[in-house]
Amino acid sequence: MKYNIFSSFDYIDKICNTIPIKIIFYSNTNSFLIQNMIQHCFLFLLLACLTIISVENANTRPPNIIVRASNMTESMKQDAIRITKQAFIKFDGYSTKSRSSMAQYIRYQFEQLHQPAWQCILGKDYALSINSENEKRIILDVDKVSVLIFKGKC
C-alpha cells in the first residue's frame, strides 16, 4: 500500500484547486503529483504568512482604555491615558514578564510630567483601599487589566 502524504488533507486539495496558479509539466508522467505538491507548499506558505501578519496585528493594535474612576484634572487624565497606552504598546501588552516594567515606565513618565512622588499598580485581580491627595488618582481599565496611578508616598 502506497502512502499518500496529503491523504489527510482533503480540505487542502479543495482549496488548492481554487488557486489560479497552475504549473504545467509536459515531459514528466508525475507532473500531476509535482503540481499538487507545489500547490500544497504554496498554500502552506500563504497560511503561514497570514498567521504571522495576524499575530503581529493583534499585538500592535492600540489598547482599549476605559476610565473607571478619577479625581484628576482633565489634562492629567489625558496624560495618564496616553502614557498607559504607550506602555501597553511598548511592552506588547500585559504579561507576567512585562508588568513590573510597565508599572515602572508609567510611574517614571508620570513623574517627569507632574513632579514626584507617583505610584502605579497594575494587575488583573486586586483589591485596594487608598488615601491619596485631592485630584491625584485615576483607575483605568485596559482590556482585562486595571491600572491605578496615584500621588503619594508608600
CA angle, residues 151, 110, 126, in degrees to nearest 5:
60
Angle between helices 99-114 and 74-90 (to 10 degrees): 150
Q: What confidence tens digit (pLDDT) does each residue in 106-153 have?
A: 999 999 999 888 999 999 888 877 766 566 899 999 988 999 999 886
Domains within the chain, CATH numbers bracketed: 10-59 (no CATH), 63-151 (3.30.740.10)
Model pLDDT, residue 1: 42
* Mean predicted confidence (pLDDT) in 15-44: 61
Closest CA to 6 of 29, 35, 31, 27: 35
When pLDDT is cut at 50, 70 and 90, the band that residue 76 belongs to is very high
**Rounded Cα–Cα distance for residues 79 and 133 (Å):** 18
Closest CA to 72 of 144, 147, 132, 154: 132
